[in-house]
Amino acid sequence: MHNKLTIKDIAKKLGVSVSTVSRALKDHPDISEKTKSLIRNFANEMNYRPNVLALSLRKQKSNTIGLIIPEIVHHFFSSVISGIEDLTYREGYNLIICQSNENQFRESTNLQALIDHRVDGIIISMSKSTTNFNHFKKAWEDGIPMVFFDRICDAIETDRVVMDDFEGGRLATEYLIKKGCSNILHLAAAPNLLIGRNRRDGYLEALRQYNIPIREKFILKCDTREEVITMQNHILSLVPQIDAIFAVNDSTAIATIQMLRRNGYRVPEDIRVIGFGDGPIATIVEPALTTVEQKGYDMGREAVRLLLQRLNNPNVPIDYQTRVFTPTIKERESA
């Protein structure tokens, strides 16, 4: 088994040197057409395939890029992976994927493993639990090209691909205001999450823009389906005073819609609800969820593009770039 044909075997079989075979297969001008076609035909016939490992070792380039992602089973992240995979495939790169499981230790191990594998570059979204950035710093000092996306690490300077969460929060809130709402409840994420803070700040900004007073009690920490259930009574107690809800993510928004309907409220007639982060669940709920669209696939592709730009110009120093994806409102029925 695994009797892989090598360039050496071909050379022996054909009575030429390995250098000649190598050159013939690469169409080097030093080799005569006659020899070239002899070698090429034989190689094709025998289905010769070069050993990528040997090649990478020799060329000091593995044509592989690494990806560290907090969680694969997650619509946004899997969309990003898909975008990354599509582009790397087209460009002839391979993709090694690691999952940090939101765990700093594992993230650090993954990073080391990728570097050990001599990947040409790394794309990362940081784990939630990461508070120490030494592993990133070390990799950065090693000079390995990195692109952060979505959950960026601001302790080091790298290329970045991010959503404009602030603008997303502002847009969502503005959308509700333009529909005539002025008492808007915000179901927010935990305050230590940058993303959540930005969305909340966008919410606040929209209120300010339209001269709507900000009320602290209209901002609730509530960012999971479960939490909606736990906080049901609290939320319902506020409902008589509000005419819209902006939830920090879709599953919270959907859970809220369902909770409201079970309690006799109509969406969007009585209360408008808007979410954040367009996934497959948004189209399933009734009424279909109006939400802020997150373009995971495109962000993935952009991350690859930034990385390749660096890989293809290894000695040209390029300023670190940050690509910002401005979200758009995906209008459906709930708001």
Return the structure tokens found at 65: 């890029």
Instruction: Say which entry of its own copies, DNA, none residue 23 contacts (CB below 5 to 8 A, set by partner kind).
Output: DNA
Choose among 60, 2, 19, 10: nearest CA to 39. 10
Looking only at residues 9 through 28 of this chain, which bind DNA when binding is defined by CB under 7 A? 15-20, 22-23, 25-26
Count of Cβ atoms closer than 10 Å to residue 170 Cβ: 23
Return the structure tokens found at 141: 């000092």
Instruction: Say which entry of DNA, its own copies, none residue 112 contacts (CB below 5 to 8 A, set by partner kind).
Output: its own copies
Count of Cβ atoms closer than 10 Å to residue 54 Cβ: 11
Assess contact for 222 and 228: CB atoms under 8 A. yes
Size of the site for its own copies (CB under 8 A): 52
Is residue 1 involved in binding DNA (CB under 7 A)? no
Q: Strand 272-276 vs strand 244-247: parallel, antiparallel, or unpaired? A: parallel
Q: How far is the CB of 52 from DNA (least distance, A)?
A: 8
Is residue 7 involved in binding its own copies (CB under 8 A)? no
Is residue 25 involved in binding its own copies (CB under 8 A)? no
Mention every residue, 6+ apart, whose C-beta is less than 8 A from residue 3.
Answer: none
- Name the 3-class secondary structure at 237: helix
Is residue 262 involved in binding DNA (CB under 7 A)? no
Choose among 273, 311, 319: nearest CA to 121. 311
- Give strand pairing partners of 330: 291
Looking only at residues 79 through 118 of this chain, which bind DNA when binding is defined by CB under 7 A? none
Is residue 95 involved in binding its own copies (CB under 8 A)? yes
Interface residues with DNA (CB under 7 A) are 4, 6-8, 15-20, 22-23, 25-26, 30-32, 34-35, 48-51, 53-55, 57-60
Interface residues with its own copies (CB under 8 A) are 1-2, 49-54, 56-57, 62, 64, 71-75, 78-79, 81-82, 85-86, 89, 94-99, 101, 106, 110, 112-113, 115-118, 142-144, 251, 254, 258, 261, 280-281, 284-286, 297
